[in-house]
Amino acid sequence: MHPTLVHFGHFAIHSYGLMLAIAFLVAIQIFLARGRARGLSEDRLSTLSLWLLVLAIVGGRAFFVLTHWDDYKSDPLSIVRLWEGGLMIYGGYVLAIAGGIAYLRRAGMPVWRVADAAAPSMAIGVGIGRIGCFLNGCCYGLPTHAAWGIHFPPESYSSVVFPGEALQPAQLYMVAAGLGLFVLLLALDRKPRFDGYLFWTYVALAALLRFLIDFTRYYDEASTIGRFGGLTFNVNQAVSIVLIATSLVMLRVLSRRPALPAAAASPGPPPLPPEGADAPAGVADSPRPEPRA
């Protein structure tokens, strides 16, 4: 566990924040490249990405603080100390998806085509970001006798709850889930399907994996909603069920909608004829646009 990687006087680089930054940079580059391949406006996708980053952090932090208010009410300034951990991914999901749809509709862009371009980026972002959880020692698992159980150092968060015990590497399970979904989504994207297929497939599979992995993860009483048959269920699993059901409904609805023509994704001037060819009236006399660097 390495929550702080480097110290420069009073300045420090924390592993959790660094991995979140790396996750975003990698995800945004993949998103923009996939958007270009779909004929989408790179400028608008860049703006959208910045909004999604802010909304995901605000939503994730707000959801965590609301479910752990007793830990923050005595020190409200601790709410902004993100490097200590404390983001609930589903809070970020909800706010980012709602805000993203609102932006895309306002910008006149095809919502589900953009969402399909973003789906693999979301998967790899989660995979990389969870490495930060592991290095920070947060989001740890339950005690285990498995050979791959992790012993965190005495100063870690988990040692307060499970001192000296080997724990499930729940963070690494999420890393594997994110990277595995990234590869799967790229494979699925090779076959043309209706807009929204890739995005809602990702949401459904990510929610299912999260639901299962959460049985290996420790949650405090504030996040626990009940117990059944020896299993403990938490609020994130309840959200997972809602997301799975929503995904199945959306996949069915979108599969029945008429396909949006590819040209509708990127409106613009008609293509210029090749050199020497007869041009349509009104085009031949128009100056060619200069290339942009």
Burial class (CB in 10 A: 0-12, 13-18, 19+), 236: buried
The continuous run of DSSP H or E covering 133 comes out as: helix 111-136
Burial class (CB in 10 A: 0-12, 13-18, 19+), 201: buried
Q: Is 80 exceeded by the pLDDT of residue 293? A: no
Average pLDDT, the chain: 84
d(CA 283, CA 273): 9
Strands of the chain (E only): list them: 4-8, 11-14, 224-228, 231-234
Mean pLDDT of 84-99: 80
The per-residue pLDDT for 72 is 78
Terminus-to-terminus CA distance in the chain, angstroms? 44
Q: What tens digit of pLDDT does each residue of 236-261 get?
A: 999 999 999 999 999 999 999 876 55
Burial class (CB in 10 A: 0-12, 13-18, 19+), 107: middle
The number of beta carbons lying within 10 Å of the beta carbon of residue 282 is 7
Mean pLDDT of 264-274: 44
Q: What tens digit of pLDDT does each residue of 177-217 get?
A: 999 999 999 999 999 899 999 999 999 999 999 999 999 99
Q: Is 90 exceeded by the pLDDT of residue 159? A: no
d(CA 51, CA 101): 11
Identify the CA nearest to 87 among candidates 17, 156, 15: 17
Instruction: Extract the tokens encoding 50.
Output: 């910045």
Q: Any idea where the domains of the chain sit in the sequence?
A: 8-192
Question: In this structure, which long-range contacts are made by residues 253-260, counting pairs with CB atoms below 8 Å and at least 24 apart in sequence?
Answer: 254/112, 254/194, 254/195, 254/196, 254/197, 254/200, 255/194, 255/197, 257/194, 259/194, 259/195, 260/110, 260/113, 260/195
List phi, psi (to 5°) of 210: -65, -40
116 contacts 250 by C-beta, under 8 angstroms = no
d(CA 99, CA 164): 43
d(CA 27, CA 182): 11
List phi, psi (to 5°) of 282: 90, -10
**Position with higher pLDDT, 44 vs 154:** 44
98 contacts 133 by C-beta, under 8 angstroms = no
Highest mean pLDDT among 69-83, 150-164, 274-288: 150-164
The per-residue pLDDT for 194 is 94
The number of beta carbons lying within 10 Å of the beta carbon of residue 231 is 9
